[in-house]
Amino acid sequence: MQIRIYYEDTDAGGIVYHTNYIKYCERARSEKFFKNNFTFDESGYFLVTKLDAKFIKPAKLGDIIEVKTIVVQMKNASCTLEQSIYIGDEKIFVANITVAYMANGKLSKVPKEKMEVFQ
């Protein structure tokens, strides 16, 4: 998944505002679901519960970045992903992100068809 860096993504330091890399990871996760025809469904969705990130090098206005996602661990009610951001061949950000599945307001088993989206 490729993403262009626009003005809104940058800050007065002239580089991408740090939290935005975490947004791009979320865009990449959501895009997988949208591409598989899932729509937003209040009855069951993923929440980020844990995040462990390294900011290696900043991206700048006009850059095209790429988000790559690998499944690290699938559990019954959660999933840990490694999401990396690249500019060309250079890795500029990496995060381990755990998302938990919530249904009817509580932690629940990930439905099989949603688990398959990550795999």
Catalytic residues: 11
Strand 2-4 relative to strand 78-87, pairing = unpaired
Closest contact distance (angstroms) between CB of 10 and its own copies is 4
Chain residues that interact with its own copies, rule: CB under 8 A? 4, 6-8, 10-15, 17-20, 22-23, 26-27, 30-31, 34, 39-40, 42, 45, 47-55, 58, 60-62
Q: Which of 119, 80, 84 is nearest to 101 (CA)?
A: 80
Q: Which of 50, 58, 56 is nearest to 17 (CA)?
A: 58
Closest contact distance (angstroms) between CB of 110 and its own copies is 17
